[in-house]
């Protein structure tokens, strides 16, 4: 289960250095279940940071505010386990590929997120579009068929 996301995530993001422009990362949820988004991005020194979870209600959109310039990010989405109606439980996930970052079920910020951390699991993330201007602006939509739709701009 995912717990207490918004408060800790806001506190973690608030501690990031302020840049002249901000990344515009928005997640939308077209499923019937609450989705949770995590992102990972590369720091100026080449290390990776992963941050989560942003809660996105069914039919809603939420902005993942970062006060820093990033030309690209990686993302992962998950739901909590839910009953499928036939006695089975499943969890929807979004994020695929060879790139894995450290996450846990509670709010988190991991520095050197491409390395194992005590109590964390390494999970696949998907790549965003890359911005040539150094400031990505993208909307990621979680779809009911476990796919995502990516669009640039707001």
- The region that residue 43 occupies, defined by phi over 0 for left and psi between -120 and 50 for alpha, beta otherwise, is beta
| Residue 55 reports pLDDT greater than 60 | yes
pLDDT value for 52: 96
Does residue 60 register a pLDDT over 50?
A: yes
d(CA 36, CA 100): 17
Where exactly are the structural domains of the chain?
5-152
pLDDT at 72: 87
- Above 70 in pLDDT, residue 14? no
Which of 20-29, 78-87, 137-146 is least confident?
A: 20-29
Residue ranges with strand state E in 30-120: 35-42, 48-56, 61-66, 74-79, 82-83, 89-90, 93-94, 100-103, 108-111
| Whole-Å CA distances, 30 to 26, 38, 50, 62, 89 | 13, 17, 24, 12, 20
User: In DSSP terms, which residues pair with 75 in a beta bridge?
Assistant: 39, 126
pLDDT bracket for residue 2 (50, 70, 90): low
pLDDT given for residue 43 in this prediction = 92
């Amino acid at each position: 289960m995912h717990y207490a996301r918004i408060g800790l995530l806001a506190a973690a993001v608030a501690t990031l250095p302020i840049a002249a422009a901000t990344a515009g990362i928005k997640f939308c949820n077209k499923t019937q279940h609450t989705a949770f988004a995590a992102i990972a991005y590369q720091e100026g020194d080449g290390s990776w940071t992963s941050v989560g979870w942003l809660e996105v209600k069914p039919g809603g959109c939420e902005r993942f505010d970062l006060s820093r310039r990033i030309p690209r990010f990686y993302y992962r989405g998950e739901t909590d386990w839910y009953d499928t109606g036939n006695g089975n439980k499943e969890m929807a996930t979004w994020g695929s590929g060879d790139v894995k970052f450290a996450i846990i079920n509670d709010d988190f910020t991991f520095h050197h997120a491409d390395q194992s951390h005590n109590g964390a699991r390494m999970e696949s993330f998907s790549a965003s579009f890359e911005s040539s201007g150094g400031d990505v602006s993208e909307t990621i939509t979680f779809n009911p068929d476990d796919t995502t739709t990516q669009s640039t701009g707001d």
